[in-house]
Each structure stands twice: as structure tokens, then as C-alpha cells.
Amino acid sequence: MYAFLALEKSLVYFPTSLKSNKVVLQKILRMNYVKMYEKDKDLLEDVMVENQQAIEMAEAYSSILSGMMDAFASVISNNLNMVMKFLTSVTIILALPKMVASFFGRT
């Protein structure tokens, strides 16, 4: 679980940084900061497409990981419920003789 939490934490940073890169790439393409030839513009557009795909992949993996963590949490909760039922049953079974003894015991 701790490994999943660490992985989810790092997956939060990926889309954020990729979205920042997207803004920078769009500004480079729109403004004429750097002299670019037609091939350079094509390459920059390819980089922008790859960056968008990376954003979508990071978000998809983040949602998959979130779903897996929810499933593991449900399994752990279910196991805890079963243990608590068992311990409650044992407590009731052990409490019955003590209750009978307390009714008929001396003071």
C-alpha cells in the first residue's frame, strides 16, 4: 500500500509538469522567439502531440492506480470486518459464563 501511495504521489506531479510544458510549447510555436524553419515547426508540433499523449497517459495511469488502491482498501476493510466479527463472537461466548456466575455468585 505504501508503494502505491508513493507511486500515486509521483503520478500527481507528472500531469502537472506536462501541462506546464504544453503551455511553454504553445507559446514557442505562437510567438517568434526563435527563428524556425518549416521542419522545426513540424518537429515542434510533433513534440506537442507527444506531450498531449503523455498527459493523457499519466492521467489514465493515475486513475487506474486510484481504482486499484480503492480495491485494495475494500479488501483490507473486508478482512478487518471478518476479524472483528470473530473477536466479537469470542467476547460474547466468554461473557456468558461470567454473566451466569455473577447472577448466582455470593456478594
Domain count, the chain: 1
Per cent of the chain over pLDDT 70 is 98
Q: What is the CATH number of the domain that holds 47?
A: 1.20.58.340
Per cent of the chain over pLDDT 90 is 45
Residue 107 confidence class, pLDDT cut points 50, 70, 90: low
What separation in angstroms does the CA of 64 have from each of 5, 44, 79? 13, 30, 23
Residue 15 lies in a domain: yes
3-17, 43-57, 85-99 — which is least confidently predicted? 3-17
Residue 90 lies in a domain: no
Q: Is the pTM of this model over 0.85?
A: no
**What contacts 97, CB < 8 A, 6 or more positions away?**
none
Segments forming the whole domain that contains residue 25: 2-77
Averaged pLDDT, 19-28:
91
Residue 63 lies in a domain: yes
Q: What residue spans of the chain are helical by DSSP H?
A: 2-30, 38-104
Residue 98 lies in a domain: no
